[in-house]
Structure 1
Amino acid sequence: MTDAAGGPVRTRRDGAILEVTLDRPKANAIDLATSRIMGETFRSFRDDPDLRVAILTGGGEKFFCPGWDLKAAADGDAVDGDYGVGGFGGLQELRDMNKPVIAAVNGIACGGGLELALSADMILAADHASFALPEIRSGTVADAASVKLPKRIPYHIAMELLLTGRWFDAEEAHRWGIVNEIVPASGLMDRAWDLARLLASGPPLVYAAIKEIVREAEDSRFQDMMNRITKRQLRSVDVLYDSEDQMEGARAFAEKRDPVWKGR
């Protein structure tokens, strides 16, 4: 197990799992410099063949992330400045992120912080977590949430949250399917690591194919997407179909044993 301390982003590496902690007191708000560090962190995770799963959480017990640092903006950070690779928070626009990411929301997640959590593949929420998209009250738009939420939850609920900016708790977030699971705060990270270990034991090439298919299918017709998959026009699917892991899965099934995934 290795830990990297210092700066607003802390990482902890254990086997194939990387834990990323946004730790920027008092509230874990993200300025341009922090966003660039997060982008480099997630790009390194994406490109490291020995890492399979990432966990994203916030430092402390009150805030996951409130989004954009308005104080930094007042001091000269431009809202349209250089967020670095991956866009705001380093994750939501990072290309070819074909590995699972778990968000462990340990407190307040609002504005860009909620959008950052929505960039993960699974979201666990502490029982005291709360959420909002308050950009409307500041005269601006929650752009990423405006794209994502109406596709993931009932349209009228998404529009209510976007148009009013109201707060909602973990129970409501779970009811609408925004979060996968609510966990007592004291057990949040243990649960996140249990889930990460489960995913890390699975077939990484299949995960990559799933993530690329889901991403590419978002704006595609069903048959068009199926044709692309059948013709192996997606890189991750093409790699999977010629892989050792594909053969290993078949052998393990035939031999009635657990497969040993090598990611190749």
Structure 2
Amino acid sequence: MTQDLLVEERGRVLLLTMNRPESRNAMSMAMAHEIAAALDTLDSRPDLSVAVITGSAGTFCAGMDLKGFARGERPVVEGRGFAGLVRRPPRKPLIAAVEGYALAGGFEIVLSCDLIVASREARFGLPEVKRGLTAAAGGLLRLQHRVPYHLAMELVLTGRMWPAPEAAEVHLVNRLTEPGEAVTEALALAEEVAANAPLALAASKRVLVESADWTLAEQFDRQEEHVNPVRESADAKEGARAFVEKRPPKWTAT
């Protein structure tokens, strides 16, 4: 890994810090590939359960690096999309810790996450229409399912800044913090998630994400494909034993 992305392991939690402060952490092609590699690590290692993604120097991400774009670079990873993330997020839970600005592609990274922690001073926005562009890295596809339809339409068509307290009012933000505390709170939330069974976490996320377009007739059968292996896992047996024995479970992701 280069210094564009800082990667740190905190027990079962992987902390990813976008580290291009000179450009407000604007997404470069190199950083996109580094994020994709880090998320591959997250998904492949049984000792990691959840990741937190944040930005350095008091801001999250200002979107695509326009200087790189002018040179013909696009921060897109084949199969994973913009930022190595938005088209195919990780199988395991991902938490955004937002300070400062999360704009354009930066907001689309946030929308790709499963949980969102934000400072009261954070600002979200999809200003693409102001630049003759569209929010094509998931903003148009995801925002309408995260907030009321007419609010999503207003944010897209005006491109206005959206303060984090307003986002929290419509439950886009899970936890609102004082400035400078987003990462600390996100790590605490990640620890709360990581205390649970890894296989159950991944399967639960998959059903929640994929079941939106399942018909009523097929919902339970399709759910069973994902949850039955969890039910038959060693971790399920361990969870039951730990409950009976009144001790913390020891997960093996098997």
TM-score, normalised relative to structure 1:
0.89
Displacement after TM superposition at 1:76 (Å): 2.1
> Aligned partners of 1:222, 1:47: CA distance in 2, in Å?
33
> Aligned partners of 2:198, 2:47: CA distance in 1, in Å?
10
> Aligned partners of 2:146, 2:9: CA distance in 1, in Å?
31
Please tell me the residue identity of whatever aligns with 2:146.
R
Displacement after TM superposition at 1:253 (Å): 3.2
> Aligned partners of 1:222, 1:203: CA distance in 2, in Å?
28
Unaligned runs of 5+ in 1: none
Partner of 1:65 in structure 2?
61
Partner of 2:185 in structure 1?
191
Displacement after TM superposition at 1:187 (Å): 2.3
SS at match of 1:109: strand
Please tell me the residue identity of whatever aligns with 1:169.
P
Partner of 1:233 in structure 2?
225
Residue 97 (structure 2) aligned to one of 99, 104, 108: 104
Partner of 1:41 in structure 2?
38
Partner of 1:178 in structure 2?
172
Task: Spell out the pairing of 1:69-218 with structure 2 (5 A cutoff).
Answer: 69-77=65-73, 79=74, 82-94=76-88, 97-143=90-136, 144-218=138-212
Displacement after TM superposition at 1:21 (Å): 0.3
SS at match of 2:181: helix
Displacement after TM superposition at 1:90 (Å): 1.6
Question: Which one is further off, 243-252 or 109-118?
Answer: 243-252
> Aligned partners of 2:238, 2:192: CA distance in 1, in Å?
19
Please tell me the residue identity of whatever aligns with 2:249.
P
> Aligned partners of 1:107, 1:82: CA distance in 2, in Å?
24
> Aligned partners of 2:181, 2:133: CA distance in 1, in Å?
36
Please tell me the residue identity of whatever aligns with 2:170.
W
Let me know the Cα RMSD of the aligned residues.
1.8
Displacement after TM superposition at 1:138 (Å): 1.2
Residue 25 (structure 2) aligned to one of 13, 24, 28: 28
Residue 17 (structure 1) aligned to one of 13, 17, 24: 13
> Aligned partners of 1:233, 1:100: CA distance in 2, in Å?
19
Distance 1:261-1:82 versus aligned 2 partners, 3 A rule: closer
> Aligned partners of 1:221, 1:138: CA distance in 2, in Å?
39
Q: Deviations over 1:130-182 (max 9, x none)?
A: 11100111111112111111112110001110111011111111112221111
> Aligned partners of 2:46, 2:242: CA distance in 1, in Å?
23
Please tell me the residue identity of whatever aligns with 1:59.
S
Displacement after TM superposition at 1:204 (Å): 0.9
> Aligned partners of 1:28, 1:89: CA distance in 2, in Å?
11
> Aligned partners of 2:152, 2:60: CA distance in 1, in Å?
21
Say if 2:252 is the partner of 1:262.
yes
> Aligned partners of 1:68, 1:55: CA distance in 2, in Å?
20
> Aligned partners of 1:88, 1:43: CA distance in 2, in Å?
15
Displacement after TM superposition at 1:17 (Å): 1.1
Displacement after TM superposition at 1:56 (Å): 0.3
Q: Deviations over 1:234-263 (max 9, x none)?
A: 3xx232121011122223334444433222
Q: Deviations over 1:14-33 (max 9, x none)?
A: 22111000011221001222
Unaligned runs of 5+ in 2: none
Question: Which one is further off, 32-41 or 150-159?
Answer: 32-41
> Aligned partners of 1:88, 1:154: CA distance in 2, in Å?
25
2:4 touches 2:18 (CA, 8 Å); kept in 1? yes
